[in-house]
Amino acid sequence: GQNIDQPTEMTATEGAIVQINCTYQTSGFNGLFWYQQHAGEAPTFLSYNVLDGLEEKGRFSSFLSRSKGYSYLLLKELQMKDSASYLCAVENSNYQLIWGAGTKLIIKP
Amino acid sequence: IAGITQAPTSQILAAGRRMTLRCTQDMRHNAMYWYRQDLGLGLRLIHYSNTAGTTGKGEVPDGYSVSRANTDDFPLTLASAVPSQTSVYFCASSKTSGSGNEQFFGPGTRLTVL
């Protein structure tokens, strides 16, 4: 079967750091995407990991461990505008995306 | 402005009616996708097209059909709508269907079937 797990909701404080985890079990794996989705809007691309390790892009970093079926998105220096849902998606062997249900991140002042 | 558009923005539909959701992109992307997004579930792929003239079934294709007559347009048709098709529908496109291609999403269509 195919399964992608993310926490449903997380709360963090403005200026802090938060880590959003994603674990997966899928039939075939090519890479892993993270997308951001503000309420009522379309998802937008954040990162793509294909190799193990950490990819840093400004305040956002994404980590992948293929052997453990695990990824995380790290958000630093949190801002109020970071309040959104964060979607983890695995690219399977057919290059189709299998999506997690998303993690709703609430930022408090 | 380059991007991907969808119409209508929202629609309330009586069960049994036929409905076509429109999607157009001007980025000359080869691949296009239709997803539905329901509360508590991840995006689920309905149909996809790797290039103009070809289409394929995704995870939840039943009750839906698509066509890809040209590069820009990828309409989704509900032949006879049912209440379980109430959802937010997103169209997306990517440069190609290969590995690591970022998908760009349209603004979505909120469909309610009564």
CB-based contact B5:B27 (threshold 8 Å): no
Q: Would you call A4 and B41 a contact, using CB atoms and an 8 Å cutoff? A: no
Residue A64: predicted pLDDT: 98
Q: Does residue B56 belong to the interface with chain A, where contact is any CB pair within 8 Å?
A: no
Count of A-B CB contacts under 8 Å:
50
Whole-number CA gyration radius for chain B: 13
Type of residue at B102:
E
Nearest CA in chain A to B89: A42
Q: How wide is the angle at C-alpha A42 spanned by C-alphas A2 and A61, nearest 5°?
A: 65
CA distance A23 to chain B (A): 14
CA distance B81 to chain A (A): 23
Report the pLDDT averaged over residues A64-92: 97
pLDDT digits (tens, 9 = 90+) for B91-104: 999 999 988 999 99
Report the pLDDT averaged over residues A16-25: 97
Report the pLDDT averaged over residues A54-70: 96
Report the pLDDT averaged over residues A43-63: 97
Higher pLDDT, A88 or B2: A88
> Who among A31, A33, A42 is closest to B90 (CB)?
A42
Residue B1: predicted pLDDT: 60
Q: Would you call B43 and A42 a contact, using CB atoms and an 8 Å cutoff? A: no
Among B84, B90, B83, B81, CA closest to B109: B90
Residue A2: predicted pLDDT: 79
pLDDT digits (tens, 9 = 90+) for B26-83: 999 999 999 999 998 989 999 999 999 999 999 999 999 999 999 999 999 999 999 9
Question: A68 burial class (0-12, 13-18, 19+ CB within 10 angstroms)?
Answer: exposed
Residues of A in contact with B106 (CB under 8 A): 42
Q: Does residue A50 belong to the interface with chain B, where contact is any CB pair within 8 Å?
A: yes
* pLDDT over 70 percentage in chain A: 99
Q: Would you call A96 and B108 a contact, using CB atoms and an 8 Å cutoff? A: no
